Amino acid sequence: MGIFQDLFSNFKVLTRWMPSRFSARSGRWTLALLALPAAIACSNKVDNSINRLPIPDTTTDQTSLPSDATSLAGDATNLAGEITQASANCDCLAVGQWFRFDSLQLTTLDGIKHPVIGTLNNLWKNDIKSYYLNFYFQITILSADSVTFRVVNGARISDTPQTPTDGIYATCLLDSADSIDTQATIVLPRQGCKLGESAPSGINVYAGTPIYTKNCAPTLPVQHAIPVRNAVLTGEMHSDCSSIDSGLVVQGNFSKAALGKICTCITIGSQPADVCEQVIPTYKGAATGDPLCDGCNDHYKSLQSLLEAFGDLQYGCIGDDGGPAVCLTATYSAQRIEQVPPSCPKK
């Protein structure tokens, strides 16, 4: 019994020595470690020194291992392979799962690092963190070789986080004509966890609350949202399906004609969206504000003018209207969410 007591003691030392990422919960290490005492007991002398792994005798014929130990070690290897394969395939994906963007950063405008990019990225970063800017992805169709997402914007509906420490604000979905319908569909080819380039699609960018919007565009088909068109996305699912990582907006654009119809209210730091005040459909900008911002209010300025104040726009792409458009590329990431926001109330 002494040799098995020593082995058990070494087994406990070994499990304490192993880093947490190789802990028994991974499955494959448990089986492999259980197989180790049987193999050593039959083929090697036990090294009783403290905190030292047994050094195998390389001259020993490993084929002499008892068949049960060899079989158990083989099972551990097979199980490890099955776990790796399942992770690589992202079999944990399912229809009905939801994800929310936790980052969206422009990388180029018209193929260059336009001077306005840093300012826009800081504004978007703050709006995403404060839940004024929300992109939700819902899996609606899933197969071994493709995944279809419903994309919808959200609007913040709470003044304070849901709990004092989580920093998560309640939102609602802008997914019906009762509010503003920002829905779009994106289809990406899929190989396991890797998501290839999607078919070109339109994405809308809404920020604010249902009442106080940070962009004002009363004459566009999707009111008060920046229309990004011909967007092509790629990404990679995390192996446990908890996130979309390494996301790229390979291409996209917004037309010059649409840009000229969008006005924006810039908030600084932690300023709430209500400093923008409600838009006024009868407002005439020429009287007291920006003449390009009819139907908004004095807090809004032409987005086109603001962008061009940082440097000329080249309009190097062709928009969905056939006219000139600003090209863009970006990065993004998204986290899985369990609580699905409700639809926004009627306007």
Q: Report the pLDDT value the prediction gives residue 291, as an integer from 0 to 100.
A: 93
- Strand-pair category, 226-237 with 201-205: antiparallel
Q: Report the pLDDT value the prediction gives residue 258, as an integer from 0 to 100.
A: 96
Q: How far apart are CA 276 and CA 280, in angstroms?
A: 11
Positive or negative CA dihedral for 109, 228, 129, 270?
positive
Q: How far apart are CA 93 and CA 79, in angstroms?
A: 21
Q: Report the pLDDT value the prediction gives residue 87, as an integer from 0 to 100.
A: 52
Q: Report the pLDDT value the prediction gives residue 166, as an integer from 0 to 100.
A: 79
* CA end-to-end distance (rounded Å), the chain: 78
Positive or negative CA dihedral for 167, 170, 174, 179?
negative
For the chain, which residues score pLDDT lower than 50?
Answer: 2-44, 46-67, 69-73, 75-86
pTM recorded for the entire structure:
0.74
Q: Report the pLDDT value the prediction gives residue 270, as an integer from 0 to 100.
A: 82
